Structure 1
Amino acid sequence: MALLHKTLLATPRTTAAVRSQFRRSALPAIVNSCYYSRFSSTMGPKLRDPSLFKQDVCYVNGEWVKARSGKTFEVHDPATGQLIGTCPEFDAHDTEKAIETAAVAFDEFRHKTGRERSKLLRKWYDLMVENADDLAALITWENGKPTADAKGEVTYAANFFEWFSEEAPRIYGNTIPSSVPGNRVLTLKEPVGVCGLITPWNFPAAMITRKVGPALAVGCTVVCKAPGETPYTPLALAELAHRAGIPPGVVNVITALHATPEVGQVLTTHPTVRKISFTGSTPVGKLLMKQCSGTLKKLSLELGGNAPFIVFDDADVDLAVAGALASKFRSSGQTCVCANRLYVQRAVYDEFAAKFAAKVRDFTVGNGFQPGVTHGPLIHARALDKVEQHVRDAEGKGATVVLGGRRMPDLGPNFFQPTVLTGVTADMALAADETFGPVAGLFCFDTEDEVVAMANATPVGLAGYFFSRDVHRVHRVAEHLEVGMVGVNTGLISDPAAPFGGVKESGFGREGSLYGVGEYMVTKMVTYGGMGKPLQR
């Protein structure tokens, strides 16, 4: 039945007539009945460790607590629209309590040795690896990405704990020769203090670990605001932190949906919070930055992008196609570094478009738990509406829909066909606005100078990609693209060892890599006088 469902509904090549006939038959109910028979009564995945699924509680001061008001919000499966469960609606008072808890814990945690903090992070990493299947199931359930992608995210997320566990014992200062005779200047690297971390729904595990890892490595304590759309993965990570022996108050995970602006206001204005790290949209990042100005907090902002993906006529076209597929359609196009504008040089445009569309046609769209599914739903109806608006706008202004371009209501409320557009031009909405969905728009260009100018004609600059076999062009274009990260002959650039972040209105600060720990530290200078006196004998 699952195979029949995949064939009739999830394949882009299925005709409308066949879909209609399937809908009118009794088969959909039979298919759903067979598929959900392996699920629990709440239509959720059967976890090997059900205690990782935390409902109606947040993690504060090493304990599981409810919102003071008793209010909760609902979380829905984006693939089916069905209720997953509820989570506490934390308000300003609840958030202040979490901050106070983190402040108390900081006084002791900051004095642990780097080696002690390293062992805690390593234990947390080990527990993530041991519980990888359950964590992946939670990600697929609340985010919608296919199981294979969810497992990949768990590995990626855990690797941040491993990476920063190895950085923790290696937080070095410097000794600087002074211009004053007899003086010595030393620098000490110290933890900035309590950190407020605000994370997005598209990587509910990795965006937590990429921020928490370096914070704990240097001795900070944290209050993590989990995304309202995907709170259960962060709460499961909090449970694993508890099991790893992370001291009470060092890691606090709170949830809110409707009260998110209120919680954000407290985190950004509370004088005890000395650092904010936010991943999300540029407009929200600007708002948080304004709110932080009153207490001059340290900031890391990883904001929106509009990534160019350039294919030069000297590129390996097959390699470029593979790179574009990986970059554009990862998580159904819902990553901040997804290729948003695909520029292909005129001489290889038709070849690239044909090969690219052929590969996209082989995608299988469906519920992420189903075997063989390559692409899941969008996160919610607003995301679906934006994707459709971009396609209709492009189509109305002369673009050709080579493949896809429509909703897939037979599969669920939030599914959209993987889409390829040709003849895309700069006056179309998807040229200026990040689509954040499974839509690939192909632009044509003639010269290197032209395409670099087009690629840079945006106020944001997170990631950019290009494919070329000319070594001189590789260096030249990499240096001229106004982005924080460049992928050359690859569509995948994320790695715990790589500094992740953007320029312009894509924000500032870097996550991951050896630079990641620096975002959570301050430099203290100590000058020692009288060092030039002779030794007493």
Structure 2
Amino acid sequence: MIRPPALTDELLTRLRDRVAAQGDATFTTTAVFTGGTLATLPESSPADVRAAYDRAAAVQPEWAATPLHQRLAVFERFHTLLLRERDTVVDLLQAETGKARRDAFEELCEPALVTSYYLRTAPRLLRPRRRAGLLPGLVGATELRQPKGVVGIIAPWNYPWALAIGDLVPALVAGNAVVLKPDSQTSLTPLFGADLLYRAGLPADLLQVVLGDGPTVGGAVVDTCDFIGFTGSTRTGAQIAERAGRRLVGCSLELGGKNPMIVLDDADLDETARTAVRGCFANAGQLCLSLERIYVHDSILDRFVAAFTAEIDRMRLGASYDYGPDMGSLTSARVLKTVSEHVDDARAKGATVLAGGRPRPDLGPYFYEPTLLTDVTPDMVCHAEETFGPVVSLYPFGSDDEAVALANESSYGLNASVFGRDRARAAAVGARLRVGTVNVNDGFTAAYGSTDAPMGGMGASGLGRRHGAEGLLKYTEAQTVATQRRSVLNPPRWLPYRFYAAVMARSLRVMRMIGLR
């Protein structure tokens, strides 16, 4: 089956009409399970990006002036629609990415959780806040949260629904307009999200979707919009930060990861091995949060290997629009090439393949087996570089200190896991890791799914956070409005300034003593 049941000609026509593109240029996307053509879509130009920005900017002030409860009503309806039409979303995700249906369903849930969270918390986070004024009783101060304007969001191919819709929802809630640039291969799913938002009552032109080449169309988004949200590679993120910095425009960047997992000597090995399968191979390892390095205490190494390889052997791979397979396909020939090269390089240099280690063209053009390597050394590409596929390397350690040191030997700092029956000890080990999120006895879902807590990276894994208060407030500018009842800093004309300075100094000392300032 090239097209999923939900992708009808009528739906495809409606989604094409959502693209901000005036020219005749088009491109095609691939049905990942078969390698055939999935859809032909309009291609935007840099001029289309500028026009999209202008349309969005024209309607943004009215949206920002709309009372928050009226803005939130749109997202209440959107939340209902996305859950009602979940099968369409999941079908589109599978068709465009090749992921297993269970992974597609879990991706569907991210914007649902994010929308629900900001429906609850936005009134508190965005309300005016009283701040202490210069002199109590004489000066009052209020902190307001003003929207940035037009936010540009550049979303990746691996989670096109979660990382496009999940990011633009708080941007819109905060009163911004959005120009969204999804990856070309995975354009249909975010276009359907835009369609649902407009069906939920989002004002016309407030959300613009542009499609096309990353450096050209994505570059135009970076050079045009008032704030940039990007998820993707560290190399591209650094380029975006530089270009945004030249314009003094803010950005939020979630970038790559070479995420470690530490298995302490008191871990429940059966449960740890079962959880590690998901942490390493969800979405065929095409996840910034995926575990690619496993450090196991040497006293339990053999038992963990036996349990983990047994779990890998139980995994079902397949290309189908049902919930049978545990793991689906890689998304493109480019990703398959990278994964194959990493494993072949490691094998050639002496690594041992304990499970997997080969492509599976019998299942589909881009399938690769879940793979476990050991004896991996620093001269192997997969030792330090992000593979972004179903490949994980195994290393022994002898103490908690050694495990922390090994886990921190990376320029990345996105996600980590620590497994152990003594949860306090495991959490203490996790707190020593230089990463943005730590999961105790889980791979990545516990931290990522806790939408009240911030999620993002340290070091080469990025800047800024999604989720939590920061996930909304980053799309705003803090503005202070200070009101003075009468002049407090201009001394009377008859008072020499040296006497005024002495009085002010004594006043500041007194206020400090009694806790007013």
2:3 is aligned, of 40, 44, 58, to 44
1:451 Cα deviation after fit = 1.6
For residues 101 and 13 of structure 2, the distance between their equivalents in structure 1, rounded to whole angstroms, comes to: 20
Match of 1:306 in 2: 258
Moved more, 389-398 or 113-122: 389-398
For residues 48 and 192 of structure 1, the distance between their equivalents in structure 2, rounded to whole angstroms, comes to: 35
C-alpha distance after superposition, 1:35-83 (max 9, x if no partner): x4xxxxxx31222876443478252xxxx65x32211111001221010
Question: What one-letter code is carried by the residue in structure 2 that aligns with 1:178?
Answer: G
1:498 Cα deviation after fit = 3.1
SS at match of 1:110: helix
1:166 Cα deviation after fit = 2.3
2:165 is aligned, of 209, 227, 237, to 209
- 1:268-417 residue pairs with structure 2 within 5 A? 268-270=222-224, 273-369=225-321, 372-417=324-369
Question: What one-letter code is carried by the residue in structure 2 that aligns with 1:486?
Answer: V
Q: Residues 438 and 55 of structure 1: is their aligned pair in 2 closer, same or farther, counting only changes over 3 Å?
A: farther
Match of 2:74 in 1: 120
1:157 is aligned, of 111, 117, 127, to 111
Unaligned runs of 5+ in 1: 1-35, 37-42
Match of 2:83 in 1: 129
Match of 2:16 in 1: 57
> Do the aligned partners of 1:401 and 1:420 also contact (CA within 8 Å) in 2?
yes
C-alpha distance after superposition, 1:342-363 (max 9, x if no partner): 1111011111111101111111
> Do the aligned partners of 1:264 and 1:288 also contact (CA within 8 Å) in 2?
no
For residues 103 and 330 of structure 2, the distance between their equivalents in structure 1, rounded to whole angstroms, comes to: 14
Question: What one-letter code is carried by the residue in structure 2 that aligns with 1:142?
Answer: E
1:120 Cα deviation after fit = 0.5
Match of 2:211 in 1: 255
> Do the aligned partners of 2:148 and 2:227 also contact (CA within 8 Å) in 1?
yes
Alignment pair present for 1:474 and 2:430: no
Q: Residues 382 and 351 of structure 1: is their aligned pair in 2 closer, same or farther, counting only changes over 3 Å?
A: same
- 1:93-104 residue pairs with structure 2 within 5 A? 93-104=47-58
TM-score, scaled relative to structure 1: 0.86
C-alpha distance after superposition, 1:451-494 (max 9, x if no partner): 21111111110001111233553343222100000001111232
TM-score, scaled relative to structure 2: 0.90
SS at match of 2:27: strand
SS at match of 1:405: coil
Alignment pair present for 1:528 and 2:476: no
Alignment pair present for 1:507 and 2:462: yes
SS at match of 2:448: coil
Question: What one-letter code is carried by the residue in structure 1 that aligns with 2:426?
Answer: V
Q: Residues 131 and 475 of structure 1: is their aligned pair in 2 closer, same or farther, counting only changes over 3 Å?
A: closer
1:396 Cα deviation after fit = 2.1
Question: What one-letter code is carried by the residue in structure 1 that aligns with 2:181?
Answer: K
Question: What one-letter code is carried by the residue in structure 2 that aligns with 1:267?
Answer: V
1:189 Cα deviation after fit = 1.0
1:245 is aligned, of 197, 201, 218, to 201
1:532 Cα deviation after fit = 9.8
C-alpha distance after superposition, 1:148-188 (max 9, x if no partner): 22122112222222222223322133222223351112111
Question: What one-letter code is carried by the residue in structure 2 that aligns with 1:148?
Answer: R
Match of 2:495 in 1: none
For residues 55 and 46 of structure 1, the distance between their equivalents in structure 2, rounded to whole angstroms, comes to: 16
Unaligned runs of 5+ in 2: 489-517
For residues 511 and 237 of structure 1, the distance between their equivalents in structure 2, rounded to whole angstroms, comes to: 19
> Do the aligned partners of 1:58 and 1:255 also contact (CA within 8 Å) in 2?
no
Q: Number of aligned residue pairs: give it.
A: 483
> Do the aligned partners of 2:223 and 2:243 also contact (CA within 8 Å) in 1?
yes
Q: Residues 165 and 253 of structure 1: is their aligned pair in 2 closer, same or farther, counting only changes over 3 Å?
A: farther
Match of 1:200 in 2: 156
> Do the aligned partners of 1:56 and 1:86 also contact (CA within 8 Å) in 2?
no
For residues 290 and 441 of structure 1, the distance between their equivalents in structure 2, rounded to whole angstroms, comes to: 33
1:325 Cα deviation after fit = 1.1
1:384 Cα deviation after fit = 0.7
Question: What one-letter code is carried by the residue in structure 2 that aligns with 1:134?
Answer: T
Question: What one-letter code is carried by the residue in structure 2 that aligns with 1:129?
Answer: L
> Do the aligned partners of 1:161 and 1:209 also contact (CA within 8 Å) in 2?
no
1:220 is aligned, of 166, 171, 176, to 176
Match of 1:24 in 2: none
For residues 328 and 427 of structure 2, the distance between their equivalents in structure 1, rounded to whole angstroms, comes to: 37
> Do the aligned partners of 2:100 and 2:329 also contact (CA within 8 Å) in 1?
no
C-alpha distance after superposition, 1:71-114 (max 9, x if no partner): 11110012210100111111100111110011011110001111
Alignment pair present for 1:517 and 2:517: no
Question: What one-letter code is carried by the residue in structure 2 that aligns with 1:136?
Answer: V
Q: Residues 74 and 291 of structure 1: is their aligned pair in 2 closer, same or farther, counting only changes over 3 Å?
A: same
For residues 417 and 176 of structure 1, the distance between their equivalents in structure 2, rounded to whole angstroms, comes to: 57
> Do the aligned partners of 2:328 and 2:367 also contact (CA within 8 Å) in 1?
yes
For residues 15 and 465 of structure 2, the distance between their equivalents in structure 1, rounded to whole angstroms, comes to: 33
Match of 2:505 in 1: none
SS at match of 1:293: helix
